[in-house]
Chain A
Amino acid sequence: MDNATNHAIKVEPAFVLKGSLFTLSVLQLLDSDLKKLGRELSEKIRLAPKFFHYAPVVIDLSKLALSPNQPFDFQACNQVLRGHQLIPVGVRGGSAQMHQAAQAAGFAVMIEPHSNTADKNQPNLANRKTIENNAQNNVQEAGGKILKEKDLKELKNLKDLETGLENSEENLNNNFKKSGNLLITSPIRSGQQVYAQGGDLVVVASVSPGAELLADGNIHVYGTLRGRALAGINGDVKARVFCHKLQADLVAIAGHYKVFEDVRADDDDFYKQLYLQDGQLCIGSL
């Protein structure tokens, strides 16, 4: 085989592996009685037919009080869930034995993110105040550009908030760190999303309606904040949102959100911060 032919043949790959970040609902099993589970799920669906809407869920086994030799039928559990519009993707919180059994039945065993106090407050399906984020793709390419793909889908709230957002590229020639704080100095336009992974997001400009800001840490807007701001998206309840002028449609901290339906009086909006207190989103002055 000579080098000439080697160069001539170019094979296109069948797939590419990418890193992603997903936030999923957790179904915490309290009782191993699958028939009971099935009945309760059916009741939920009877009251609200689209309640589950084929949501991907992680099954939390930590509260299942099973005697050591009592097996849990993961296959049957899978059937019950799928039969009620839930798509189980994995398990967590069980013993090593349980995890093995789960894997044999086709479940993934979820790797826990680094724990903080917020984990204990992970919203369960009954918490109506939480928005779940799906499919976050964050790829850094040469030249400092971020390619972001994001689909925001609200699962639990009975209002149907389904926004499809397309690809958005942010050309960052300035101050970009792969995991850490993110500084943006040009206006963020309608339809753009910015995600500060692992840190704070600082915007020295205004944010247009229809734009979305996300951060694992705090969000600071030295300008007018319109659109949406979601801080502490990985569960950091201490995250805050700061802005010069608050005209946002929606602000969320660690999943707890507030929609600003009424047009607020103009002079009331300057220099505001938003934070969580006892699970409630509060607005204070700076």
Chain B
Amino acid sequence: MAKIVVITSGKGGVGKTTTSAAVATALALKGHKTVVIDFDVGLRNLDLIMGCERRVVYDLINVINGEANLTQTLIKDKRVDNLYVLPASQTRDKDALTTEGIEKILAELSKTFDYILCDSPAGIERGALLAMYFADEAIVVTNPEVSSVRDSDRILGVLASKTKRAEEGKEKVKEYLLLTRYSPERVEKGEMLSVEDVQEILSIPLLGIIPESKAVLKASNSGVPVSLDKESDAGQAYLDAVDRFLGETRAHRFINVEKKGLLQRLFGKKKAG
């Protein structure tokens, strides 16, 4: 039985797709058969971030409409074993998504996969609601910024009420907070919300803190999920986060301002970790 995990946020542009790609890759690297599904119909991005945009033949909507089966549609990642991508449609819109269609797809994927990641679009409309409807667990991606925190809070409310688990009175969806684009320098200056500030409002377990990093833009542009860039701070932070997700304990890194030593200041190099 697969675990269905939704990566959601409410707010747009906080790092859901980056996270979906990074987490899916990290899980697959650990040997778990993982598929990541793009629910952003019409504005699909996941295929770009995963680096497989030239290999998309069929998409999620084709499968829902019965025009293609899953085997034809799933794209196997070339770099990492056990990793598959189910892209969204570029030309259709979210009205083509149906609950029954998604249910069938998830049921079929559950037979062979360990983890099914659902990359949610921003907002609280159809695409976002369907991405979270069947979820067992949720990673709520938040920037340490007031509107992102407010939207994540809203999404937590929706997760508690508009999911299958909520409607059937089952054990609620397990929620995790992933704080992204964190800058310890700005937090120290008082310009940015700290981890504690965000946790006080959201009160859900903290999965990880991903620092603001140039590596993320590099990764998107080259179609390489950032967790494959093991030298970068963001990459390492994602790998830590996935270890925690799988039950291990990891100390949170990249959350304190680095005191630069003399040599570092002279030569301007920044160590990761």
> A interface vs B, CB < 8 Å?
143-145, 168-171, 173, 186-192, 205-206, 208-211, 224
Contact = CB atoms under 8 A, between A and B. Distances in A.
Going nearest first, the 7 A-B pairs with the smallest beta carbon separation are A189-B157, A169-B161, A190-B153, A190-B154, A208-B153, A192-B157, A191-B154
A168 B158 CA distance: 8
Contacts of B167: 169
Contact of B153 (A145, A186, A189): A189
Interface residues of B, number: 17
A72 B157 CA distance: 52
Contacts of A169: 161-162, 166-167
Q: Give the one of A171, A186, A211 with max B CB within 10 A.
A: A171
Interface in B161-211: 161-162, 166-167, 169, 172, 200-201, 203
B150 interface: yes
A191 B150 CA distance: 10
Contacts of A170: 161
A208 B201 contact: yes
B160 interface: yes
Nearest to A205: B203
Nearest to B150: A190
Given A189-B156, A205-B203, A206-B203, 18 more contacts: A145-B169, A168-B161, A169-B166, A170-B161, A171-B160, A171-B161, A186-B160, A187-B203, A188-B157, A189-B153, A190-B153, A190-B154, A191-B157, A206-B200, A208-B153, A208-B201, A209-B153, A210-B150
B154 A171 contact: no
Contacts of A191: 154, 157-158
Interface in B135-169: 150-151, 153-154, 156-158, 160-162, 166-167, 169
A245 to B, nearest CB: 10
Nearest to A209: B150
Interface of B: 150-151, 153-154, 156-158, 160-162, 166-167, 169, 172, 200-201, 203
Nearest to B155: A189
A143 B156 CA distance: 21
A166 B242 CA distance: 35
Contacts of B162: 169
B157 A171 contact: no
A189 B201 contact: no
A94 to B, nearest CB: 44
16 contacts: A143-B169, A168-B157, A168-B161, A169-B161, A169-B166, A169-B167, A170-B161, A171-B172, A173-B169, A189-B153, A189-B160, A190-B150, A191-B154, A192-B157, A192-B161, A209-B150
Most chain B C-beta atoms within 10 Å of own C-beta, residue among A143, A145, A208: A208
Contacts of A192: 157, 161
A65 to B, nearest CB: 52
A66 B150 CA distance: 56
A106 B69 CA distance: 61
Contacts of B154: 189-191, 210
A173 B187 CA distance: 39
A210 B153 contact: yes
A144 B166 CA distance: 12
A169 B162 CA distance: 8
A187 B202 CA distance: 8
B133 to A, nearest CB: 13
Contacts of A188: 157
A169 B153 CA distance: 15
A188 B160 CA distance: 10
A167 to B, nearest CB: 9
Contacts of B150: 190, 208-210
